[in-house]
Amino acid sequence: MRMKILNLAVSMTLLAASGATLAAGGSNSGGNGGNGGGTADDNPSASDLYVLQYGAEKQNDADAPDITETELEALQVAPPPVQTPVSSASGSQLVNAWLAPNSSILVQNISYIGQSNQARVYTGNEFGSVINTDGIVLTTGNANFANANTSSGATGVTGTGASYAVSKLSNQFTYDANSLRFDFTLDNSASSANGITSKFVFASEEYPEWTGIFRDGFALVVDGINYAHFDASNFVVLDNCSSNGVYPCTDTTQNDNGFLTPNAGATAVPFEFDGYTAVLTVNALLNPALTKHSLEAVIADSNDPLWDSAVFLSRLSVATLPGTFQDVVPAPVPLPAPLGLFTSALAIWGVLRRKS
């Protein structure tokens, strides 16, 4: 069993140095990816090679307390500083490649957070068996992955900080966030539209053995609400393992309810991620009270910055969706009883004063 990272701050230098090697296809001691012929040990139990590679040991669930509500709120109010933001020009290129033709979405105020090689544009013929429409890929490591599946595990450490949206999903600290944000309005041709829609595929190196322990995730937040789901009951986060969070999670049928397809071996899908979903659709209702809407697509590693995950995004466009925005607005948190009574008393006192 690999134990907890004892000193992440000290280890980050070593991690960053090793990230480029791994992204280029170097082997390591984790993951369940392709092995270039089946002779390498895809999932060694010993941690000595892991420590040699990363200068730290991979933690297990018993050593990793969940993030507290106070810590999560701190991420929302004052997220950790981003080390290497990329120019807005790169963000514009990504947004333009994500939009469907005649999308009717008018974009402004683009903000991209990530390393220069952490996201990129792709064409549908690169991954036709997975997603055959042009689009973009956001990752927690290196988006310039080779068109091959020959590494036992791919890791790129970007140092781009945490994601409140993904930490809220995973209930863990997050790392290596890759975020694309912008504001938008709809053009005149979309007067009947009440939402937007996009295709996506989620993929991860954490699958299957680290599922439930390292809960990497993806969120698509529109007007303050995350709409990205595997299905109606499950957000896009690696949080469901049939072995109940015990390493390794070996049941590839049951973890994350079977939403991910295993991907191992040089003859499998030509990218390194050990599991990937079918092409899914995210539909987001717009807040009708707003004249300008907001969108953030963000992916992040959870629990440590090792083992990459990715999301492929395509065909972003307006949509006419069933339901109303009020159907998805979170219910207000009720006041504690004493505070509620105190508030009611103040209201009554104010009415009496106005009448006096």
Model confidence pLDDT, tens digit, residues 315-339:
999 999 999 998 888 776 565 555 4
pLDDT band at residue 340 using 50, 70 and 90 as cut-offs = very low
Spatial CA neighbour of 232 closest among 259, 206, 203: 259
Compute φ and ψ for 329, nearest 5 degrees. -70, 130
Evaluated on CA atoms 85, 88, 93, 99, the torsion sign reads positive
Q: Check whether 50 has a pLDDT greater than 70.
A: no
Q: What is the pLDDT of residue 147?
A: 67
Q: What is the pLDDT of residue 193?
A: 95
Q: What is the mean pLDDT of residues 155-167?
A: 91
SS (H, E, C) the chain: CCCCCCCHHHHHHHHHHHHHHHHCCCCCCCCCCCCCCCCCCCCCCCCHHHHHHHCCCCCCHHHCCCCCHHHHHHHHHCCCCCCCCCCHHHHHHHHHHHECCCCCEEEEEEEEECCCCCEEEECCCCCCCCCCCCEEEEECCCCCCCCCCCCCCCCCCCCCCCCHHHHHHHCCCEEEEEEEEEEEEECHHHCCCCEEEEEEEEEECCCCCCCCCCCCEEEEEECCEECCEEECCEECECCCCCCCCCCCCCCCCCHHHHCEEECCCCCCCCCCCCEEECCEEEEEECCCCCCCEEEEEEEEEECCCCCCEEEEEEEEEEECCCCCHHHCCCCCCCCCHHHHHHHHHHHHHHHHHHHC
Q: Check whether 164 has a pLDDT greater than 80.
A: yes
Q: What is the pLDDT of residue 121?
A: 94
Q: What is the pLDDT of residue 38?
A: 35
Compute φ and ψ for 94, nearest 5 degrees. -65, -45
Q: Check whether 26 has a pLDDT greater than 50.
A: no
Q: What is the pLDDT of residue 252?
A: 63
| Mean pLDDT rounded to a whole number for the chain | 76
What is the residue whose two structure tokens read 């080779």? 146
Share of the chain above pLDDT 70, in %: 66
198, 97 contact by CB (below 8 A): no
Which range is least confidently modeled, 126-140, 205-219, 235-249, 339-353?
Answer: 339-353
Beta carbons within 8 Å of 322's beta carbon, 6+ residues apart: none
Q: What is the pLDDT of residue 254?
A: 67
- Please give the C-alpha separations between residue 292 and each of 105, 109, 222, in angstroms, as whole numbers: 11, 11, 11
Highest mean pLDDT among 121-125, 215-219, 244-248, 266-270: 215-219
CA-CA distance, 327 to 325, in Å (whole number)?
A: 5
Q: What is the mean pLDDT of residues 166-190?
A: 94
Spatial CA neighbour of 91 closest among 224, 181, 28: 181
Instruction: Say which residue, 275 or 25, is predicted with more confidence.
Output: 275
CA-CA distance, 212 to 257, in Å (whole number)?
A: 12
Q: Check whether 117 has a pLDDT greater than 80.
A: yes
Q: What is the pLDDT of residue 58?
A: 53
Q: Check whether 353 has a pLDDT greater than 80.
A: no
**pLDDT tens per residue, range 56-103:** 455 554 456 788 888 888 877 665 544 444 556 689 999 999 999 999
**pLDDT tens per residue, range 224-281:** 999 999 999 999 999 888 666 677 887 766 677 689 988 877 677 878 898 899 999 9
